[in-house]
Structure 1
Amino acid sequence: MDAKPCIDSLTVKSSHVLPPDTNSHGTLFGGRLMAYIDDVAAIAAVRHCRKPVVTASTDSVDFLQPVQEGDTICVEAFVTYTHNTSMEVFVKATTENLLSGDRKVCTTAFLSMVAVDDNNQPSNVPGVYPETEEEQWLHDGAKRRHEYRKERRKESKELAEKFGTKLPWKRNR
């Protein structure tokens, strides 16, 4: 498989923020923004590998700016790094007040997507290479983030084993 440039996977989605998309503060529901983030990340990953993908993890999503009702939200994503069957996807969301033209980055996130075959088993993906200074900066930090995700996943598995499926309010007496 030949490596591909980051730009080949670029995905952009814009949406008008309407009343059903907002909370009692008149701002976009965080969960709605997270759904947009997962959607564009998946599209970017499929564009890169041309295979079905599943979301393996989402790094922290920090809400930096509120997205007001009536604004637009623009979510951009592209693959920054690959490792065998997984892809790191960088996502940036920008809010825009259409009347003033004021734009602000409201969140950034990294997602790990895994390509799967017809049996839903992990499948190899092509490499990716950066072409711009910004892409190179993201690519340079990707191995460190990949290792961090592996450690975090190990901790998550330990938590799942420790707490299992028992209900926390039902105690053995």
Structure 2
Amino acid sequence: MEAKKASESFTIMNEMVLPNDTNTFGNLMGGRLMYWMDIAAGIAAAKHCNSPCMTASVDNLSFKNSIKLGNIVHIEAIVSRAFTTSMEIHLKVWGEDLLRKTKYESNEAYLTFVALDENNKPKPVPAFIPETDEQQRVYDGALRRRQLRLVLAGKMKAHDATELKALFS
């Protein structure tokens, strides 16, 4: 299986915040944004491995700035590292107020997707090639984030998380 470049998975998704997408404060509901982010990440994952993919985990999602009714949501998703059958997807989200001509950062998150074969079983994914310094930085941190996810999910013992231990010794 041939390795793939980061740019091959790059996905941009845009949505307009409509009344049905907002809470009583006129802000985009967090659940709706998570829904859109999951779609964008799923597209990036599928582009990387050319197969259906399933969400395996969502890292911390915190809101820096709310996105208001009528604003545009910009979501960028890109594979940040590939493992055996899973891929970490890095997402960045901005809001844009077209009337005020401003664009502002809203969120950043990492989602993990697993590639599936024709029997809905995990299948190997292509290796990943970072192309920029920023992509290399995110790639380098992906193994630590993965080990933290596995420890928190009870799938790895803390003493086996060598990348995490290296941060503290």
TM norm. shorter chain > 0.5: yes
The structure 1 segments of at least 4 consecutive aligned residues displaced by more than 4 Å after TM superposition are: none
Q: Which range moves more in the overlay, 43-52 or 97-106?
A: 97-106
Equivalent in the alignment of 1:144: 144
Give CA deviations for 1:10-66 in whole Å, capped at 9, x if unaligned.
111101111111000000000000001100000000000001100000001011100
Amino acid at match of 1:38: D
Aligned length: 155
Equivalent in the alignment of 1:117: 117
Cα distance between partner residues in 2 of 1:152 and 1:108? 20
TM-score (normalised: structure 1): 0.88
Give 1:129 shift.
1.0
Equivalent in the alignment of 2:85: 85
Q: Sequence identity, in percent? A: 41
Is 2:43 the counterpart of 1:47?
A: no
Equivalent in the alignment of 1:168: none
Amino acid at match of 1:25: F
Is 2:105 the counterpart of 1:105?
A: yes
Q: Which runs of 5+ in 2 are unaligned?
A: 156-169
Equivalent in the alignment of 2:33: 33
TM-score (normalised: structure 2): 0.90
Q: Which runs of 5+ in 1 are unaligned?
A: 156-173
Give CA deviations for 1:54-88 in whole Å, capped at 9, x if unaligned.
00000010111000001100111000101100000
Give CA deviations for 1:85-120 in whole Å, capped at 9, x if unaligned.
000000011000011221111000000000011111
Is 2:94 the counterpart of 1:94?
A: yes
Amino acid at match of 1:146: R
Equivalent in the alignment of 1:71: 71
